[in-house]
């Protein structure tokens, strides 16, 4: 019975890590797009990446990109790698987080 209980605990912990990664990706995208809406066009990507990565734990590796459509819409996309059993040991599965907002004048 012990192996079944242990396997169940491991699966539940992994599911919690995946869910937490989704939460982190969404929050990082929100923060990144918020910074991108107030930044000047020339510094938008740097401000966006810095704000998106600011609150992420060091164990999660992120790829953050911000784009503008030439108009007032700013989009941010964050891709985080999902850890296996403990943060820092990642598998090559990424979780996306996307956000968009209108640029402030």
Domain ranges of the chain: 2-102
Mean pLDDT of 38-52: 84
Length, in residues, of the chain? 105
Cα distance between residue 73 and residue 57, in whole Å: 28
Domain range 2-102, CATH class: alpha beta
DSSP conformation class of 58: T
Q: What is the pLDDT of residue 77?
A: 93
Residue 64 pLDDT greater than 70, yes or no: yes
Q: What is the pLDDT of residue 105?
A: 67
Residue 85 pLDDT greater than 90, yes or no: no
pLDDT tier, 17 (very low <50, low <70, confident <90, very high otherwise)? confident
Cβ 105 vs Cβ 74: under 8 Å: no
Q: What is the pLDDT of residue 60?
A: 83
């Amino acid at each position: 019975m012990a192996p079944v209980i242990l396997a169940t605990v491991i699966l539940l912990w992994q599911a919690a890590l995946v869910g937490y990664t989704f939460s982190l990706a969404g929050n990082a995208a929100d923060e990144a797009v918020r910074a991108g809406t107030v930044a000047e066009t020339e510094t938008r990507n740097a401000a966006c990446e810095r704000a998106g990565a600011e609150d992420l734990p060091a164990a999660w590796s992120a790829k953050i990109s911000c784009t503008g459509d030439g108009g007032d819409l700013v989009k941010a996309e964050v891709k985080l790698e999902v850890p296996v059993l403990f943060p820092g040991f990642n598998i090559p599965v990424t979780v996306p987080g996307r956000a968009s907002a209108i640029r402030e004048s």
